[in-house]
Chain A
Amino acid sequence: MIDLVLIGLTRFLVGGQALWIGASPETRQRIYFANHASHLDTLLIWSALPRGLRAVTHPIAAADYWGKGRVRRHIALEVLNAVLIDRSTQGPPGAALAPLRGVLAEGESLVLFPEGTRGSERLPGPFKSGLYWLSQEFPEVELIPTYLDNPSRAFPKGTFLPVPISCTVRFGPPVARQTGEDKDDFLERARTAVAALASDPVG
């Protein structure tokens, strides 16, 4: 019930039409990785997925935003199936990835924002290394670059209310792993795959 209300609100305010450009909506195990511009991003990707995929796909959400307050926390955990991670974790590299590994080990999919924080540019900034480690540890999982068009205009960083501006969610062709590729090269290639979806004739 709440999920329908959330999807309805998202459609009414910002549309969020899904465009499957190089991948189709199938129930394969995947990591969708996207540019990050607003607090709408998690909702946008979640509501762009067909119902069947939504149930087995877990967005990664920052605990310092989605974990705050009972309502937001409930929506994040119970409705969006989100995995909350604490961005301030200090510890050995990759320790924060533990809950993500758990999801992948169970055969389910993830939505990641590898920039780690919201940007205000059209194109994504440098990616953090989490995507690389996960892609190495789970070589069977398909890596789907995802571009969110417009959320940085609809709900810019530092504002309290989204305005109605149509956003689209574009799913691109899977990024293949290349043997022997070094971490930074892989991350840059993944970033370019997301950025390539930005130059769509529609928008």
Chain B
Amino acid sequence: MSMAMSLSDKLFILFGGVCGLLVIASLIGFALSRRATSESGRATIDNLNARIKAWWVMIAIFAASFALGRGVTLVLFALTSFYTLREFVSLTPTRAADHLPLVAAFYLLLPLQYWLIAIDWYALFTILIPVYGFLLLPSLAALKGDAGEFLLRVSRIQWGLMLTVYCISHAPALLTLDIPGRPREGFLLLFFLITVAQFSDVMQYVFGKLIGRTKVAPAISPSKTVEGLIGGGLSAVAAGAGLWWITPFTPIEAAAMALAIVAMGFLGGLALSAVKRSMGVKDWGTMISGHGGVLDRMDSLSFAAPVFFHLTRYFFT
């Protein structure tokens, strides 16, 4: 099943499969919306349907960017980083003295990070923000001469950049990996990562709604349950294993990779819930109807992408 198919055949099957799943989900959502009677039931179904609709849009964007190639995909992720960094900074108290570091973050480090990935300069894109950003941002902030909450302010901007630019950029960085005997198959790795991470989120939500009882961390996120984590996580690992034929992995390896993505995604969601809670907000924004902000959908991917990237790079290239 694996070697004979061309890359475009595989992508065609994959996107066809995802569209099929979404058709089924849309039909179920439509049927449920006609049956819901109680107030809270209707709210849940409306939220579900809004999520499904947003999924159609996201799939369309991904399909278009895959079809148009690596450059467009990189631009798409750079825009995602831009938008999520904007959401992050908007909710983070910054002051006038932070202007220069913010200019550097948005207009220098963000484009530079994606340009380094575009020219495949691995040694520099993996240290640009953790090392050079780390040195540059506090220097620029200090030039303004405002010492009030200095460490806190500098840390927030560094953290936002790591989360929204550095981590997220490791997803499209998969396109730069040279896997022996599999030229240009980075798109499939990217598809694998996104599908497993997002499927895990969706299934955790579904299992949590259906059978969720025991809260994992009630003080941080009331919606994350042990049952949701196990049910959703196992579904996503199974889905990942089932996708082994598009990857350089064996089915067992694909399951292990999916497990790593699920674990990191769960931790990302949890850590970001804690950040939101500490800021006193529920969502990062209002960009996507039913989903909150863009960062609300990217938190798991952000944590999973660097780990998946390095695991693949160490063991398979």
Measured CB to CB, the residues of A under 8 A from B are 15, 17, 120, 150, 152-153, 156-159, 161, 163-166
Contacts and interface: CB of A to CB of B under 8 A. Distances in A.
Chain A CB within 10 Å, residue with most, of B85, B90, B102, B103: B90
Nearest to B99: A159
B82 A161 contact: no
Nearest to A163: B102
Contact of B94 (A15, A153, A161, A166): A153
B89 to A, nearest CB: 6
Given A153-B95, A159-B103, 18 more contacts: A15-B86, A153-B94, A153-B96, A157-B96, A158-B96, A159-B96, A161-B103, A163-B102, A163-B103, A164-B85, A164-B86, A164-B89, A165-B86, A165-B102, A166-B86, A166-B87, A166-B90, A166-B285
B99 A163 contact: yes
Contacts of B286: 17
A6 B210 CA distance: 47
Contacts of A164: 82, 85-86, 89, 106
Chain B CB within 10 Å, residue with most, of A152, A159, A164, A165: A164
A156 B107 contact: no
B162 to A, nearest CB: 18
6 contacts: A15-B86, A156-B96, A163-B99, A163-B103, A163-B106, A166-B90
Nearest to A159: B99
Chain B CB within 10 Å, residue with most, of A17, A157, A166: A166
Contacts of A17: 286
Interface string B271-296: 00000000000000110000000000
Given A150-B90, A164-B106, A156 B99 contact: yes
A165 B107 contact: no
Contacts of B107: 161
Contacts of B103: 159, 161, 163
A157 B82 CA distance: 23
B89 A165 contact: yes
A201 to B, nearest CB: 9
Contact of B96 (A15, A150, A152): A152
